[in-house]
Chains A and B, each alone.
Chain A
Amino acid sequence: MTKRSLAGAACGLMLASAGSIFAGAALAQEKAIKVGVLTDMSGPYGDVGGAGSAVAAQMAIEDSGMLAKGWKIDLISADHQNKADVGSNLAREWIDQGKADVFLDLLTSSVALAVNQIVKEKNKVALISGAASSDLTGKACSPNSIHWTYDTFSQANSTGKAITKAGGDSWYFVTADYAFGKALERDTTTVVTANGGKVIGNAMAPLNNADFSSQLLQAQSSKAKVVGLANAGADTANSIKQAAEFGLTQGGQKLAALLMFITDVNALGLPAAQGLEFTESFYWDLNDKTRDFANRYSKRVKNGAKPTMVQAGVYSSLIHYLKAVETLGPTTDGAAIVSTMKSMPTDDEAMGKGYIRQDGRKIHPVYLLQVKKPSESKYPWDYASVVATIPGEEAFRPLAQSECPLVTK
């Protein structure tokens, strides 16, 4: 019977291709490590993490020197499209099929929170670099994950505090209408009021809204000294560009981009971005080590971009993970690896010295940067100067305020 065999054959073919094989969990005692980079490759944050994060992970594998010692390290990367369900499905699949023991990057908070749960359930490791929500080391903290690079608290705490202390004591927010934007606004509000400032109001903007003129007009007529942009990616770039167009800065108001990456500065161009203050946990032009790291990185990506703090965080976290596994010997016990990581101080080319707290928060200095004027920029990607270096203990949320159940008080 034609159709039956046809149907059967077609189906078998598809299934064979669909599910791949049961690779089976790698033999525990083999000196093998499987690294998975889960990030946004095709969406609005593709330049912040994306293919660059996979390059950074590859560099960490090579720099660790473990390949020469007989370790076999596999790297797999995929696009989670900023969707929590796609991310958690991929994570589940990689774990079940033995394709990944450690998850890196995890851009956007909704994906990170979803993957976090699966990683905990299956006792693997998540090293979160791209996601912002401070809940990851708060009520959603886990013995299997470390929040590596930055969070909404540290961003708010450094940019917010610096600007309020410098006299910007009345604020108006333009906020992206989703959890991340609201968290950023909430954390910044706390910092502003704690430092004697006040918040006059806010205007919400739906996600992926191209036109901010309505919100910016409201900010303008509020007469607040500072307009805080609680958004990210293309939204930030668009609102900065349009704020210049509507003459907010000429009118004496100051813009505060609460989350901005070096790639955003590149996308905006210095004429539109000059003078903006923003906070990063990594800047490529800090010292010889970061410059060396950044130059090696740019040679391997198209258009010669410099790494963002997210990509640097991927590198830094994987270096530390590999060190911990090397100390422990071959194991796939995620919780054990994470607790070893917490017990060792961190040190790498990109992010320098630091350590990891009980609640899974990686502590390192953060930098308050200012975008240079076009005339001050001397070479490609010479975009910012360091205004202040804030010690990690000051920048991140104090352990005493943490809602994380792992913290023994």
Chain B
Amino acid sequence: MIPLLGITTQALFAQLLVGLINGAFYALLSLGLAVIFGMLNIVNFAHGALYMMGAFFAWFLLNTLHIGYWPALLLAPLGVAIFGMIVERTMLTRLQGLDHIYGLLLTFGLALIIQGLFQNYFGSSGQPYPVPDLLKGGANLGFMYLPNYRAWTIAFSLAVCLLTWFAIEKTRLGAVLRAATENPQLTRAFGVNVPRLITLTYGFGVGLAALAGVLAAPIYQVRPLMGADLIVVVFAVVVIGGMGSIMGSIVTGFALGLIEGLTKVFYPQAANTVVFVVMALVLLVKPAGLFGRKA
């Protein structure tokens, strides 16, 4: 045990690992935001509310239909994605061609409505959701006790992030998607149904948020405001990574978790603020974000 800046290296390792786990949530959420921004040019302020809906969806499945965690991992994102696609069809399409801020304002309003309705119905203290039996318990790593479920979240979200990146950057479907955002008219001329593609993309991005919600349910209280404070942080992650950059949001998400973990050790009061310091610094040096292509 070598003490470093007042804490042992062992403790430091533990803090970094815990930070990385939080980073997994940031990465999943910011990935969804980045996909939506990249394809629809919409800053989706409702992302936090949809994350919360994902968690409540899982809770609802368990408590009324007795459907457990594993099916919920698929069903909840699907359900929320359908909800998201309806929103896209009925509202967001009407904002095409307008400035970013209208999309931002509209989704901000949606977030307020969703959170308000859930709060009226479920109250504020939230509902418990148990850890699935298969992932109960944990392992002693020597420097810390790692609950199995946390290990699972980090592995699972990393896998989902990389798959998404692969699908968008390396497959034919991804190529069509990117083409549709670059030049919708031309892509349409090739026989691609662009509006449907956009709707599906929004559904996918929203589904990622709901997936993060299901992952979070056994760790955090399932409560209406669980996404309200998260959204601003996740925004910052996307901006640091470069709006619309898939890899940027994944890398930044995990990295921010680490930085936050370190801050919690040395200056815990600033743990919620450090992300904004990083954001201000990054934007001053690289105005389009770390992985952004243009300003």
Does a CB–CB distance below 8 Å link A and B in the complex?
yes
- Which residues of A line the B interface, CB within 8 A? 42-48, 50, 177, 203-206, 208-211, 213-215, 217-218, 220-221, 233-234, 237-238, 241-242, 245-247, 251, 263-264, 266-269, 271-272, 303
Q: Give min CB distance, A281 to chain B, whole Å.
A: 19
- A45: which B residues are within 8 A, CB to CB? 124
Residues of the B chain whose Cβ atoms lie less than 8 Å from the Cβ of A206: 268-269, 271-272
Name the interface size band of chain B: 35 or more
Smallest CB-CB A-B distances: 4 pairs: A269-B128, A46-B124, A267-B125, A214-B264
Beta-carbon contact of A205 and B126 below 8 Å:
no
B68 interfacial by beta-carbon distance below 8 Å? no
How long is the Cα–Cα vector from A234 to B14 in the complex, in angstroms? Answer: 25
Contacting pair B221 A234 (CB below 8 A)? yes
Chain B residues within 8 Å of A267, by CB:
125-128, 221, 223
In the complex, what residue of chain B is closest to A267 when comparing beta carbons?
Answer: B125
Q: Which residues of B contact A241 (CB under 8 A)?
A: 128, 219-221
- Tell whether, in the assembled complex, residue A217 and residue B11 are in contact, meaning their CB atoms are under 8 Å apart: yes
CB pairs A–B below 8 angstroms (22 shown): A42-B116, A42-B124, A43-B124, A45-B124, A206-B269, A210-B230, A211-B18, A213-B22, A214-B261, A217-B18, A221-B11, A233-B125, A234-B126, A234-B223, A237-B221, A238-B220, A241-B219, A245-B131, A251-B145, A264-B125, A267-B221, A303-B123
Known: A237-B126, A246-B147. A213 touches B272 (CB 8 A): no
Contacts of A204 in B (CB 8 A): 268-269
For B125, give its contact among A237, A242, A246 (CB under 8 Å). A237
Interface contact A234-B22, CB-CB below 8 Å: no
Contact at A247–B221, with CB atoms within 8 Å? no
The CA of A255 and the CA of B291, in the complex, are separated in Å by 44
Q: Complex: how many Å from CA A263 to CA B123?
A: 10
B19 interface residue per 8 A CB criterion: yes
Contact of B144 with A by CB under 8 A: yes
CB nearest to B136 among chain A residues: A245
Enumerate chain A residues within 8 angstroms of B145, measured Cβ to Cβ.
Answer: 220, 246-247, 251
Residues of B within 8 A of A221 (CB): 10-11, 14
Indicate which residue in B116, B147, B223, B265 contacts A245 across the interface (CB closer than 8 Å): B147
Task: For B138, list chain A residues within 8 Å (CB).
Answer: 245-247
Assuming the contacts A214-B19, A271-B130, asked whether A203 and B124 have C-beta atoms less than 8 A apart, the reply is: no
A245 near B219 (CB under 8 angstroms)?
A: yes
Residues of chain B at the chain A interface (Cβ within 8 Å): 10-11, 14-15, 18-19, 21-22, 116, 119, 123-128, 130-131, 138, 144-145, 147, 149-150, 219-221, 223, 225-226, 229-230, 261, 264-265, 268-269, 271-272
Other A-B pairs beyond A214-B19, A218-B11, A267-B223, 11, CB < 8 Å: A45-B124, A210-B230, A211-B220, A217-B144, A241-B128, A245-B219, A247-B138, A267-B127, A268-B128, A268-B221, A272-B128
A-B contact count (CB 8 A): 113
| Separation of A303 and B9 alpha carbons in the complex (Å) | 49
Contacts of A214 in B (CB 8 A): 15, 18-19, 261, 264-265, 268
List of A residues within 8 angstroms of B225 by Cβ: 43-44, 234
| Min CB gap B10→A, angstroms | 8
Chain B neighbourhood of A47, CB < 8 A:
123-125
Contact B149 A245 (CB under 8 A): yes
B221 — which chain A residues lie within 8 A by C-beta? Answer: 234, 237-238, 241, 267-268
Cα–Cα distance between A264 and B128 once the two chains are bound (Å): 10
Min Cβ gap A280→B in Å is: 16
Q: Beyond A208-B229, A246-B147, is A213–B18 a contact (Cβ under 8 Å)?
A: yes
> How far does the alpha carbon of A245 sit from the alpha carbon of B218 in the complex, in Å?
10
Closest Cβ neighbor of A305 among chain B residues: B123
Q: Provided the pairs A238-B220, A264-B125, A271-B130 are in contact, do residues A46 and B119 lie with their beta carbons within 8 angstroms?
A: yes
- Tell me the bound Cα distance from A215 to B223 in angstroms: 21
Chain A's nearest CB lies how many Å from the CB of B189? 47
Known contacts being A213-B21, A245-B219, is A177 close to B124, with CB within 8 Å?
no
Determine the residue in chain A with the shortest Cβ distance to B273: A206
Contacts of A266 in B (CB 8 A): 125
CB-defined contacts of A238 to chain B, threshold 8 Å: 220-221
Closest to A235 in B: B221
| A313–B200 alpha-carbon span in the complex (Å) | 53
Min C-beta distance of B169 to chain A, whole Å: 30
Bound-state Cα–Cα, A43 to B147, Å: 31
Q: Which residues of A contact B272 (CB under 8 A)?
A: 206, 209
Which residue from chain B places its CB closest to the CB of A175 in the assembled complex?
B268
- CB-nearest residue of chain A to B122: A303
| Bound Cα distance from A241 to B217, whole angstroms | 11
Residues of A within 8 A of B19 (CB): 214
* Chain B residues whose C-beta falls within 8 Å of the C-beta of A247 in the assembled complex: 138, 145, 147
Q: A245 vs B226: C-alpha distance in the bound complex, in angstroms?
A: 19
Of chain A, the residue at the smallest CB distance from B260 is: A214
**CA of A237 to CA of B222 in the docked complex: distance in angstroms?**
11
Instruction: Give chain A residues whose Cβ lies under 8 Å from the Cβ of B21.
Output: 213
How distant is the Cα of A220 from the Cα of B10 in the complex, in angstroms?
13
A209–B271 CB distance below 8 A: yes
Q: Are B268 and A203 in contact (CB under 8 A)?
A: yes
Chain A positions within 8 Å of B144 at CB level: 217
